[in-house]
A and B are shown apart, each in its own frame.
Chain A
Amino acid sequence: MIRVILPAHLRILAKVEGEVKLDLEGPVTQRSILDALEARYPALCGTLRDHVTRQRRPFVRFFACEEDLSHDSPDAPLPDAVAKGTEPFLVVGAIAGG
């Protein structure tokens, strides 16, 4: 089971509270998590990555196990702790503003 923590705006949009729990088959990667998220919550389509290029939106960041994974390949395996569900996969809106 994969645990995903969304930023507040996207939790409201997806109508979820707390962590999202996903069951994935196959490799646990950014892409597989985002695919599963969008399949369960279609309202999230386009909010995390571009509809066409599938690139991460510039002000969206991905973290896990205290590491910034935003620039890793979307197909790179995520840490075992994420795959096992002991650590969450965090979607974070980049800090901006004053």
Chain B
Amino acid sequence: MADKTSGVRVLVGTRKGAFILASDGKREKWDVSGPHFAGWEMYHIKGSPADPNRLYASQSSGWFGQLIQRSNDGGKTWEPVDNKFVYDGVPGTHQWYDGKPHPWEFKRVWHLEPSLNDPDTVYAGVEDAAIFRSTDAGKSWQELAGLRCHSSGNRWQPGAGGMCLHTILLDPSSPGRMYVAISAAGAFRTQDSGQTWKPINQGLRSIYIPDPNAEIGHCVHRIAMHRSRPNVLFMQKHWDVMRSDDGGDLWHDVSGNLPGEAVSHPQEDGTTKNFDAKGFGFVIDVHAHEPETIYVVPIKSDSQHFPPEGKLRVFRSRTGGNEWEPLTKGLPQRDCYVNVLRDAMAVDSLDKCGVYFGTTGGQVYASADAGDSWAPIVRDLPAVLSVEVQTLS
């Protein structure tokens, strides 16, 4: 049973500010704090695993650019830290949507990933795609330029949401090993703390790019890992849910019985390719205590971006993929047309595992029983961009 002194803190980033939702271990009553940074886009807020009171937040606006905020007291107070994200050397070009060279331009920070053991070290995934690191609690940022300067970098292209580095996974068993994912370049792995990177996209198949099996160019939406098994990765791709059992060297499709639809994709030669697509979505996460239990939220097609049949369903697999069950208790099963964005799902590590996700309709749903039942913590926030959870003791 959950320790009565424990609790959870849910860090919610929205289009118009940040919110902090707090509860005790029962997760029945919630305190809602916010909006913090009212009016600003809060792409991501995340706490340090080494010091839960240390939080980092990405704050941005189309008018005033990027800011990074840091809290040392669990979000009660904040201070702006360095916001200077400057690419190392001459940035060069990547490909634009039309395939022409386009200068690398910093736009915003999509994701902040604090170090597992040092509260002053934090990684930032940015658009246009690159990874930065601060080792002084955000006072300064340095690019790990080996990623952007990979030989494939000049061939990377943006996805519909921009060319963003949105996923950073730190391997707890190997301090130098990290995984990142970029829309729409694919997944990459480093073994040497970010000096050199290798594309890890073998086994991915993307019908919407000229070579469906290319080394790069796949629209990876999210990758998740259980810390006890860092070689096992789960991926929510543009279409398909994928799994790798060897640290990303080879992926295979585990979409199984997820909802699907027939898709027609026009080709450059004027013909049309038809295929049965399954498992479109953005989020994916892993149960805190069961490394083979994973969660996704299927979304209808790449042009509609709302739940199939207007039913908001989380799908859970207890077998590491392929066999999925819809979880609907407490979720709207009619007239629901929200989206769940890539950084908007998280789990706590209480017993039972709590699962949380936020929607573009402003709801944050929580399950205190590993997904069996759901209830909204809040219903009417601005569109939710990200959800992270801290389990406090």
Name A's B-contacting residues (CB within 8 A): 7, 9-10, 13, 43, 45-48, 51-52, 57, 59-60, 93-94, 96
Contact = CB atoms under 8 A, between A and B. Distances in A.
B62 A96 contact: yes
Interface residues of B, number: 13
B67 A13 contact: yes
A59 B62 CA distance: 7
B67 A47 contact: yes
B277 to A, nearest CB: 34
A10 B86 contact: no
Given A45-B83, A48-B64, A96-B62, 19 more contacts: A7-B63, A9-B39, A9-B40, A10-B64, A43-B67, A43-B80, A45-B84, A46-B65, A46-B66, A46-B84, A51-B83, A51-B84, A57-B63, A57-B64, A59-B62, A59-B63, A60-B64, A93-B63, A94-B63
B134 interface: no
A52 B80 contact: no
8 contacts: A7-B63, A9-B63, A9-B64, A13-B64, A45-B84, A51-B83, A52-B86, A59-B62
Contacts of A46: 65-67, 83-84
Interface in B14-56: 39-40
A46 B109 CA distance: 14
Nearest to B80: A43
Nearest to B66: A46
Contacts of B63: 7, 9, 57, 59-60, 93-94, 96
Nearest to A14: B80
A60 B64 CA distance: 7
A84 B64 CA distance: 28
A46 B81 CA distance: 12
A31 B159 CA distance: 37
Nearest to A13: B80
A47 to B, nearest CB: 4
Contacts of A52: 86
Nearest to A60: B63
Interface in B219-258: none
A14 to B, nearest CB: 9
